[in-house]
Structure formats: C-alpha cells, structure tokens
Amino acid sequence: MVTARIAPKDLPGDIAQGLRHRGTQASIESIEVGMSMEAHLRGDDFNVSNLNSEMQLVRAGHPTEWTWEVVARHHGVHHLHLRMTVIAKVAGYTGIPKDVTVKDETIRVDVDPWYTTKQLAATEWNKLLPSGGLLAAAGAGIARLRKRRHAALARPPENDHPPGYL
C-alpha cells in the first residue's frame, strides 16, 4: 500500500501521524496545495490500483488522503512516481491543472517465494488442477496406508505367548 496525504498549512498536529507503521517509510515534502487536487501514482513495472478518487477536495484543517495498492510485476530495481495536480480556477476558467512533482522513488523488489506461489495458484489454477489432482490422489493413498499401519500396530496380539513360543 502507498498512501499520500496533503493538507493546508493550518493542519493541527503531525500530517504523518498514523502513517508510520513498523517497517514502513513516511516522508514529508512541502508542495503547493489548492482547494481541489489530483494524485497520480505510476510505476514502470508495477500494477497500481487506486483505492479512492484521483480528484479530491482539500478542506482547511483536515488532511486529504489517497491510497493505492501496488504490486510489483517482477523483481529488480523499479521506479514509482507520485504526481500531484492542483486544479485551479483562473479568471473565469475552472479546472486548469498545474502539475507538481512530489516524489520519485527507486524501489528494490526481492522475490517472495510464498507470495509468488500464492499468486501463481490464484492466476494459473486451471493449469495446476490436473497436477493437483494427482497430488491429492497420492496424498489420499499415503493417508490410507498410514491408517492401515496405525490400526495394525494398535491391535492387541492374538495370543499372550512370547514370540517363538508354540
């Protein structure tokens, strides 16, 4: 998750409050803020999904927040670019955009085997189903053999004589 938060200068308290979680980064940049703003997050090798509207109203005394879900497509070094746009009213014209580059971030993506396996299973399940059926059958067979062995070991001996005694 990536979150961008802006506020006019009159915001009481810390604008990054609640953004600093264990293992995450929070940085504060001073930018031009208007009454209406857009936020755009783009990456060269990421799937980026907006979780709220790109254009939002900025109210005095309150932070305005944008959140994106970001998933790397490949491992390696990639770049994320955050651009904010002030939507200005100029002499009879409304909705005149003025872009403000906020942050360019270089991100190193390492492979997470567990996540990769989950993603593969979620997206390629129809190709994995035949092999999964074989694995399930093999697992069921092994379970049956273990059950029979356990039952045989738990059964009391048929006679009370020591081995070799007739």
Tell if the pTM clears 0.75, that is, is over it.
Answer: no
Q: 14-18, 41-45, 136-140: which has the minimum mean pLDDT?
A: 136-140
Position 48 scores a pLDDT of 92
| Average pLDDT, integer, range 28-46 | 84
Judging by beta carbons within 10 Å of its beta carbon (0-12, 13-18, 19+), is residue 82 exposed, middle or buried?
buried
- Let me know: does 39 contact 66? Beta carbons within 8 Å: yes
Position 42 scores a pLDDT of 92
CA 101 to chain centre: 24
Position 61 scores a pLDDT of 80
* pLDDT band for position 69 (cuts 50, 70, 90): very high
* pLDDT band for position 40 (cuts 50, 70, 90): very high
Q: 15-19, 41-45, 149-153: which has the minimum mean pLDDT?
A: 149-153
4: CB partners within 8 A, 6+ apart: 39, 41, 65, 66, 67, 82, 84, 102
What digits encode the pLDDT tens for the residues 101-159? 778 888 888 876 666 667 767 776 566 555 544 455 556 666 666 666 666 666 665 65
Amino acid at 164: G
Is residue 21 pLDDT above 80, yes or no? no
